[in-house]
Each structure stands twice: as C-alpha cells, then as structure tokens.
Chain A
C-alpha cells in the first residue's frame, strides 16, 4: 500500500499531464433565489408563494464525511461547489484540466408537477450557462432535464442541443421506471441528434426504495447500494434495445463504481445465450454492446488494498476505452489530489483514462 502511494506521488510530480478531462465536477445552486433571474415569472412567484426553500437534494448530507472535501465548505453557508473561484482552485487547477464537466444535481427530478419541474430545469441550465460556462472556458456542463416528462425533457435538449457549452444530458440513476423503457426514448432520440451522451448519475428520488429489497435504514446502505441501480439500468438499456434503436448513443455512468462490471457482463452474456429470443434485437453478446456504448467515471473508486487487483478488473472488462477520469469534486473520496487516479496504471492506459476516452465520447 505504502509502495503504491509513493508510486502515485512520483508519477504526479514527474509527469506534466496535459489535456486532462474531469468528467464529474459538481456545481451547486447556492440558493433557490440564485435561479430567479432565469425562472419565468409564473414559476418564480410560485416558488415564493409556496415557500419553497430549496431543491438541494440530500444525496450528500452535510456532515457526512463523503460530502465535502476539506476547504470546499463555504463561509457564507452556501453548499460546497457553489463558488466558481473555489472550484477553480480546488478542482480545475490541481489537475491542470482542459475541460471539466459540470453535473448539477439540483433536484428538479423530484418535483411531481411536470411543468414546474421543466421550468426549474430550464432555469438551472440558463444559470449554469450564465454563471459558469460564460465565466470559465474550461467548464462544460450537462443539460439538466426533468425526466418525469421525457417529451418536455427532449424539448430542453432541443433548446440547448447546439450550445457548445453543453456536452451531455444528465439523468439520475434512481428512475421512475427502468431507463431502457420506450417511455424515455424521446430523450435518447434528442441526445443522439446532437451527439450528446446520456450521463446517468448516482442519486434520484422517485418514491421507490433505493434498494431493490426495500428501504435501507442507514446512509451507508444507501450509498453502497447505488451500484445496484446502475447495474439494473445497464441491463435495461441493453435488453430493451436502446442501442439498437439509437446506435450512436453513448451512456456515461457517473459515481457508479466499475469493479462490479466484469461479473455483470459474464452473467448477462451467459443468460442471454439461452434467453435471447425474448429480446431478439439484442443480436450480439450484451458485453459487446456494453463495451461499445457504456462508459464509467472512476470516482468514487472501489479500490482493493492491492492496486494490481484494479488492473485485473480492467483486464476482465476487456476494454481500455470505458473508464473516464473524474474527481467528483467536491465530494470527498481521496485526500491527495493525485489519489484521484488509480495507482500503478500503465502510462498508455492512464492517458486514455485521463483524456482520450472522454474525448471520444464528448463533443469538445
């Protein structure tokens, strides 16, 4: 273990990395009032008259050790990730990033009123553009959509699809129904039209239990179990034929972990051989479809105490093209900046993870 850390530090110092792409950085809405300039009058008054204080989700509750890395807490009480200068210092500069992709987790997906939800998504996106993209050329953003109504979500993608600052469409992994369902296809059709991958991020509040067996008692259970939801979404997207229907579409799993992927591929392939008649549009091994269409960010990293185990996992995935560098700023998964990247990566693979893989997915 000590050995590995030494190696990482040496690499970090000695190699001048360029063109790094951080595929998961979180910008937070400082307060609901910050969105008012971008919100239609009808909905602005609605928010005020209904006493809505915030749509900040509790995916990372304040006070839990994962939620905010040291220094990201702001003195004015605004949430970590809500200040551009701090984000520059903590997320953009240390890695000398060329691009960082903002994934704003403001909880528009939880609103049951579809029209209000769509209005909030528009406001969040216009706020992202004005307050982040226009002020910092290294930033790109995901289009926040209210997936409750996929037709309206597609309209939002059409509204922003040509905007060079937006490079992805963001969905939450906990959905109202599996993402492969045709219900969601308007979103994929629009995303494919503009060359935007679908980013599926941990979290989401739908009223359904966050574990497939029922509601957990503890945050620990909720957090650890997120990967199960990602696995379900992969199985659904492939089985329902989303990638047959939208062959250019790519899906990036964000904060999903990836060490579970080889066993899912094995299980999926094995059972597809006997059950493929149910899903005849899946006309090749599911693992092949996954390798072509799915990408995964690396933080939080489910790291074995032995770094070489991680390389074995990547070997078992049988692809070096799937992993994308991310810091998941401001969430706290590592102490030193260099620890964002797995130890002992061969240089060629490290380069792919740091930038090349992202470049082949996103339209920079």
Chain B
C-alpha cells in the first residue's frame, strides 16, 4: 500500500468530486457530506470513465407509485449505459456480485502528520508539473493504493 496526497481537503467540497491520475490509474475522489471516498474511473462493464457520470440518489419502491429516495449524492451513474454504482463501496446495483468497481481508501490527514513520518512518500500531485507542496497547517486528502 502506498499513500498519495491527491488534493487539499477544501479543494473538494461536499457533493463534489475530483478525478486524478496517479500511479497510472485514473481515480475519482468524492466528498460525501465531509467523508471522502475513491473509486476507479473505469466502469467494469464497458470501460467508460465512470466517475464523470451523474451523481444522484438511490430510488426504490415497495409498490408501484410509491418511491423511497435515499442516499442522495452517493450513487454514480456511468455516462455510457447508466448503470448505477455505490460510490462508497464500488458495488453496482444491477449486478452486485460480479460487477463492482475498485474502491480505495481516501481519508483526511493533517499536513503535519504527512510531513514528519519518514515512511510516507509524497508523490507528485495532480498538478503534473509541480510537486504537491504540503503545508503543516492544512488538511489533505490522502489516498491509499
């Protein structure tokens, strides 16, 4: 497992996402009500850039004409075939057993905790031309791949 600093925390407000390329992979980072989640930006069904899809809620129905609408902002729909995926787990709704997108752990860490330990290797950030500079007094989104 390698840790990567991929964004400042305030760069991805709640309900927003950021797609980054790191370690040869395109990955979407999502802020859902202050919690961060990451899934691979590649639909397991047809290879589409999944994380570019519409972020929406989950609609269910106990009986025709009645709707329950939950988990607003937690379900992403693939831009190609509109299959729905749970951003928190990577699971698809239509085929939860076989079709799931790889998810990664994303969490917030303080700059000071990132800089000191020698084992944490700081990689180049999303701004390809420059090293991602970490300030001690800011929060960062850290991805484990």
Contact = CB atoms under 8 A, between A and B. Distances in A.
B52 to A, nearest CB: 16
Interface string A191-225: 00000000000000000000000000000000000
Interface in A268-288: 272-277, 280-281, 283
A277 B59 contact: yes
A276 B83 CA distance: 9
Contacts of B60: 280, 283
A272 B94 CA distance: 9
Contacts of B59: 277, 280
A280 B63 contact: no
A240 B64 contact: yes
Contacts of A276: 93-94
Given A273-B94, A277-B59, A280-B59, A245 B82 contact: no
B61 A273 contact: no
A281 B94 contact: no
A244 interface: yes
Interface in B50-77: 59-65, 67
B64 A274 contact: no
B64 A273 contact: no
B138 interface: no
B56 to A, nearest CB: 8
A297 B61 CA distance: 32
B64 A275 contact: no
User: DSSP majority for the B interface?
Assistant: loop
Nearest to B59: A280
A300 interface: no
B22 to A, nearest CB: 29
B81 interface: yes
Nearest to A274: B82
A272 B84 CA distance: 11
A144 to B, nearest CB: 27
A241 interface: yes
A206 B62 CA distance: 34
A241 B94 contact: no
Interface string A223-252: 000000000000000001110110000000
Contacts of B64: 182, 240-242, 244-245, 281
A241 B82 contact: no
Contacts of A274: 81-83
Contacts of A241: 61, 63-65
Interface of B: 59-65, 67, 81-84, 93-95
14 contacts: A241-B61, A241-B64, A241-B65, A242-B64, A244-B64, A245-B63, A245-B64, A273-B82, A273-B94, A274-B83, A277-B59, A280-B67, A281-B64, A283-B61
Given A273-B81, A283-B61, 9 more contacts: A240-B64, A242-B64, A244-B64, A245-B64, A273-B83, A274-B82, A274-B83, A275-B82, A277-B84
